Structure 1
């Protein structure tokens, strides 16, 4: 049976030993096969990924690898970009929520490495096999609202590849690959919430997904660019096509 419950932590500040603090909060509560869903904000705080709010726009630019879409609105400009972590998200993940006044948070520099460090330390401390998922909130194309997804992971299978198996009617499955790390992140968000002060959740009942620490991390979930059918926003794709059309016309005999 699947169960998910949240755990409170003290306020995290740069330099904190996050694995020790999480371990203290979970002492006596963990079972083999548990998966910990850890909000990325506390990882960012512990790793010192905190900057002045006045530097937010510059930070978004610095964290951007590729611009997907840019839209002006009465409150300013929204930038949907691919960031250094390979994630496509608004503002490169630079976030002003749940952080001290006058500051904003960057995402962990390498969320998979952060998850691995936590999983390694907690497995050693409690002498049991567990997984770690680092979560962040994302918007979704074609859907209103946001949900949490896995941006880092260690010690779990992040995808459940069902291709080659059969459905309940005996038909072969050829494309079904379940993004179980994202599903874990979303389930955990239901109990962690955004303002509860409980940034860690224990997800129990999915021990079949827990495995070696050298399993691929959450970065492996990102779709390769050559398979991305929606690489640009609508306006950006139209503008790129228009430019290509002009160039082709200029080169025509």
Structure 2
């Protein structure tokens, strides 16, 4: 029988992290303190800012000297030129510039605003770029938690990003371990018995968006959320695949071509 509900559990014992803090141990301690020991199929979703801060991946904006290109783009986008320089440094390509936005392809391959650099939830004058390798971070945390709790789980690193043609930001997955983030459903049948031809579900992003409702965007202080009761965990269980299945190849990106 299909489970018709999932549970979202925000961990409320996560402290403000500093560089070199042990995120694995911090999450384990928070889980035990809250009394929600991990179960088979649990999915742990972690905000990317927590990962970047703990890994020391923090930008000191005051130390940056803007280039001529950054100064020009800063005028177009109405952003601080030092922030623009940081955005460019974290990108492979500047895709588009407009009033109050710079769309880039990040070094990790994500197309998003401002190279995913976040100035919220860090001290004044600092900013956090995306984790250098969110798949690696997710894998390390998953393997630690599976060993500690003796259960198969998955870990997703999440960010909030906008979408083409729609207002507002939603949670998306930028790192993944333990579950395939893309569910290919071609060959299955619809309600009328017709075979699905090309249906793909961005499960990683759907899980991230659900967790984002609990994480929030301001001072909620809940950077780690457990999703419990996702029925298709075993079907999508995958310890080798990272986030790449969700990234559309550039040649198929009609918004850039």
TM-score tier by shorter-chain length is 0.7 to 0.9
Q: Secondary structure at the match of 1:155?
A: strand
| Alignment correspondent of 2:114 | 91
Q: How do 1:60-209 and structure 2 match up within 5 A?
A: 60-71=87-98, 73=99, 78-194=101-217, 195-206=219-230, 208-209=232-233
Distance 1:113 1:207, change over 3 A: farther
| Alignment correspondent of 1:42 | 50
Show CA shifts across 1:200-231 (max 9, x none).
Answer: 001011153252421x1112210011211111
- Contact conserved, 1:138 with 1:147, CA < 8 A, in 2? yes
Counterpart Cα distance in 1 of 2:97 and 2:238: 40
Q: Secondary structure at the match of 2:175?
A: strand
Counterpart Cα distance in 2 of 1:109 and 1:139: 21
When normalised by structure 2's length, the TM-score is 0.85
Q: Secondary structure at the match of 2:25?
A: helix
Counterpart Cα distance in 2 of 1:113 and 1:32: 21
Pairing 1:15–2:20 present: yes
Q: In the alignment, which of 213, 223, 226 is matched to residue 251 of structure 2?
A: 226
CA shift for structure 1 position 65:
0.4
Counterpart Cα distance in 2 of 1:68 and 1:198: 32
Structure index of larger Rg: 1
Counterpart Cα distance in 1 of 2:28 and 2:139: 15
Counterpart Cα distance in 2 of 1:207 and 1:168: 19
| Alignment correspondent of 1:5 | 9
Counterpart Cα distance in 1 of 2:188 and 2:245: 22
| Alignment correspondent of 1:246 | none
5+ residue gaps, structure 1:
233-253
Show CA shifts across 1:92-123 (max 9, x none).
Answer: 01110111111111110011111111111111
- Contact conserved, 1:80 with 1:92, CA < 8 A, in 2? yes
- Contact conserved, 2:52 with 2:128, CA < 8 A, in 1? yes
5+ residue gaps, structure 2:
65-82
- Contact conserved, 2:88 with 2:94, CA < 8 A, in 1? no
| Alignment correspondent of 1:213 | 239
Q: Secondary structure at the match of 2:155?
A: strand
| Alignment correspondent of 2:84 | 57
- Contact conserved, 2:61 with 2:125, CA < 8 A, in 1? yes
Q: In the alignment, which of 39, 50, 53 is matched to residue 31 of structure 1?
A: 39
When normalised by structure 1's length, the TM-score is 0.86
